[in-house]
Amino acid sequence: TAAQRVLLCPITMELFLQNLFLLLLFLLVSCLHPAAAFPKGCYPSEEEGLKTFRCSNAQLTEVPRDIPNDTNKLYLDFNQIPFLPRDAFRDLPLLLELDLSHNAIARVESGAFQGLAEHLHSLDLSSNRLVSVSKDAFSNLKAKVNLSNNPWLCDCRLQELIRAVELAADSSGGIVCDSSTQEEHVGKAFLQVIADTDLCNVYKKTTDIAMLVTMFGWFAMVISYLVYYVRQNQEDARRHLEYLKSLPSKQRRSEESSTISTVV
């Protein structure tokens, strides 16, 4: 009836306005919180009272940028991240634990962990593709570091790195020489190698010997040139004196004195 339609119209309008209000509210919240658009496969959670951000097995090829800056534990394990650039974690001042295990990391730039020195206490870089890393990449870092199961080149550079960081408990045995400056070290645990051999001292001795050989070579070349030069001049002087002997006496005496003074 007409009376029912009159009563229904205000109710329908009221529902429409309510739905419109909810839609606008949703859009407003979405605009005010863009950080909620996390990379695919990543999600925040809370574990043991710590704010955690998990991106495990998310097929990442780089460190994501949209990580909440109040994160305490960050899991980036089982991805395909190839390297860590400078300032990769600079916006995470409260980070306590960082798991980068089981990636394809082959290079760590100096300053990659800059800004984490004060709070970070656990760093896992195990099962990556690290061959050689400068100790400067871990400068001032106090975290316990896991470097096991990487194809390490055992040399002075690795020795300096191991002595600059604090290794995680029970991880040292997993640091094995995949290659080495000395063939007999291949396949051995690195801590066992440096317990018997100071690789930096060996490198220094090798460098010193190379420098001595190079200096001796240059010295021998200089001596050879000087001997050649003297002999050549002596031969020229002898020929000139023989020529002078064939000249008349006055001219000979004049040129002999000139030749002798030149030779002297």
pLDDT of residue 208: 41
pLDDT of residue 228: 63
- Mean pLDDT for the stretch of residues 113-131: 95
Closest CA to 87 of 55, 114, 123: 114
Token digits of residue 155 = 């040399």
pLDDT of residue 65: 87
**pLDDT at residue 52 above 50?**
yes
N- to C-terminal Cα separation, the chain? 139
| pLDDT tens column, 130-183 | 999 999 999 889 999 999 999 999 999 999 999 999 999 999 999 999 999 888
pLDDT of residue 209: 44
CB 104: neighbour CB atoms within 10 A? Answer: 13
**Phi and psi of 178, rounded to 5°?**
-80, -30
**pLDDT at residue 25 above 70?**
no
Evaluate whether 83 touches 63 at the Cβ level (below 8 Å): no
pLDDT of residue 36: 54
Q: Which residues of 122-145 are buried (b: 16+ CB within 10 A; e: fewer)?
A: ebbbbbbebebbebebbeebebbb
pLDDT of residue 118: 83
59: pLDDT confidence band, cut at 50, 70 and 90?
very high
pLDDT of residue 229: 60
- Mean pLDDT for the stretch of residues 223-248: 63
| pLDDT tens column, 190-216 | 999 998 889 998 644 444 444 544 554
pLDDT of residue 145: 97
| pLDDT tens column, 64-75 | 988 999 999 999
| pLDDT tens column, 79-117 | 999 999 999 999 999 999 999 999 999 999 999 999 998
**pLDDT at residue 217 above 70?**
no
User: Cα dist. 245→1, 21, 95, 252, 259 in Å?
Assistant: 151, 124, 96, 6, 12
